[in-house]
Amino acid sequence: MKKSLIFLISVMMILLTACGGSEDAGTAYTEVNLEEGITFTLNEDTLKSSRATFTLSNDTESAVQYSTQEYHFEQMKEGQWTEFTGTAQSAWSDDTTTLEAGETVELSYDWKVLCGNTSKDTQYRLIILVNDSPVAAEFTGN
């Protein structure tokens, strides 16, 4: 029983850390989309206030590695990117996947459980790591 309680408290702390933080926290990623030939875009028809599907494209001549479980979610406030409602990066594992040269993959993200919903007419960006470099898709909430 004691081990179960400790485990439950540990999981709750991880969840609170994933979305905890200051609303005025700046971004950890001042430069994004530096990987030549890599694009990360929103599939417009999938955007909901709590989730969306994005397309990651590798238009290079070599395979790249991208994180399957790690992302950073930000919103534009007063002309600067800041963590979305105090959202810290969600990193549950070190899992990476290979995206071969010339291929694309669709990736779905649901941020409601950890971070809530987006607001209409507010700019957001979702950042993932490709070859350990931040790649962002920007969009406006609906």
Model pLDDT for residues 85-102, shown as the tens digit of each residue = 545 445 545 678 999 999
Please indicate whether residue 81 or residue 88 has the higher confidence score (pLDDT). 81
User: What is the percent of the chain with per-residue pLDDT over 90, rounded to a whole number?
Assistant: 49
CA 85 to CA 20: how far, in whole Å?
A: 9
- Residue 61's pLDDT is 96
* pLDDT at residue 19 greater than cutoff 70: no
* pLDDT at residue 7 greater than cutoff 60: no
CATH number for position 64: 2.60.40
* pLDDT at residue 21 greater than cutoff 50: no
pLDDT-based confidence at residue 24 (cuts at 50, 70, 90): low
| pTM (two decimals) | 0.76
* pLDDT at residue 125 greater than cutoff 80: yes
Distances (CA, A) of 139 to 68, 123, 126: 20, 6, 9
CA 77 to CA 123: how far, in whole Å?
A: 8
How many domains is the chain partitioned into structurally? 1
CB distance 38 to 121 below 8 Å: no
Please indicate whether residue 118 or residue 91 has the higher confidence score (pLDDT). 118
| Overall average pLDDT of the 128-138 stretch | 94
Q: Please report which helix (H) or strand (E) contains residue 64, including its range.
A: strand 64-67
Containing structural domain, residue 120: 2-140
